[in-house]
Amino acid sequence: MVSVESLVPWIGGALVIGGIAVLASRRGELIRRWLIWAGAVPVVVALFWWGGPGTALLASVAGIVAAIELGILLGLRREDVVVLGVALVGVVGTSWLEPDLVLHALGAGALLVVAPPLLQGDADEGLRRISGGLLGLAWLAPLAGLVTLGGTALALFVAVSVADIVAFFAGPRLGGPRLSPLSPAKRWSGLLVGAAAGIAVLALLGALTWPTAIAVAVGAPAGDLLESLVKRGVRAKDSGTMMAGAGGLLDRIDSTLLALATVLLLS
């Protein structure tokens, strides 16, 4: 497993280089995003450095915020969002304190998510509410991987972020077939170049294994497309507004979620 300490110089250097690059670009959107990262990354690294308690706290807070954003997107009721948040915190807490019981926690969380519509006898909206809640549990539960993977999860996040940025700039310039109707701006050329850059970052950080490579090359792009599918389905541009000019938390971690899920499934 990669140590957090070994990642700090690389992450700090990437922030500095990224800041110089976005300032040189003079693009307001990119500068706003970099400022958000400049404030958030030190906090995230500090929580990873803390170990199990820190990553459990980080995953729980991220899960609750993402559950709120998803609930708003899907039009879930308040009680649906509350039980989803409780289920996610339960899965994260179990992965920290009793990792052998994570599957039990997932099962209990699924039952909890199903309970409100059933107890309320909601025949009109119950199926949609249950489907949305179970989607949220399956989609966001991989945040528990922050606890179990530790520094490897942080290295994976860095690699996925680099792959996303490289794909964003390379795709339009290289051209070629579009990746998916769900995301018309993305192209296969950008995905391939981005995946290569992300895998190179994994190697540089000492986190390259075949599960992490597949996570960056396949899981991360799939996560981005999954969120695009959800947002297009509800006619939304962003998952939220908590990050001024950069959308919501789900917009920032969509790729990482399925990357984490890929590593957890393949490890």
Residues 217, 129 share a domain: no
Same domain, 165 and 265: yes
Which one of 124, 149, 174 terminates a domain?
A: 149
Q: Are residues 118 and 173 in the same domain?
A: no
Do 174 and 233 sit in the same domain of this protein?
yes
Tokens of 161: 């972020």
Would you say residue 228 has pLDDT above 70?
yes
| Residues 124 and 90 grouped into a single domain | yes
pLDDT over 60 (residue 245): no
Local confidence band at 173 (pLDDT 50, 70, 90 cut-offs): confident
Query: Do 154 and 267 have their domain in common?
Result: yes
Residues of the domain holding 57: 53-149
Mean pLDDT across 190-196: 92
The pLDDT value recorded for residue 246 is 61
CA 39 to chain centre: 18
pLDDT at residue 8, as a whole number:
87
Above 80 in pLDDT, residue 239? no
Assess if residue 68 is contained within a domain. Answer: yes
Complete DSSP assignment for 181-249 = TTEEEEEHHHHHHHHHHHHHHHHHHT---HHHHHIIIIIHHHHHHHHHHHHHHTT-S-S-SSBTTTB-H
* Judgement on whether residues 78 and 170 belong to the same structural domain of the protein: no
Number of other residues whose CB lies within 10 A of the CB of residue 110: 17
**28 is a domain residue:** no
> Does residue 237 have a pLDDT over 90?
no
Domain boundary among 132, 149, 166: 149
Q: For residues 156 and 131, state if they share a domain.
A: no
Q: Count up the domains in the chain and report the number.
A: 2
Q: Identify the domain boundary among 100, 127, 149.
A: 149
Residue 43 lies in a domain: no
262 and 157 in a common domain: yes
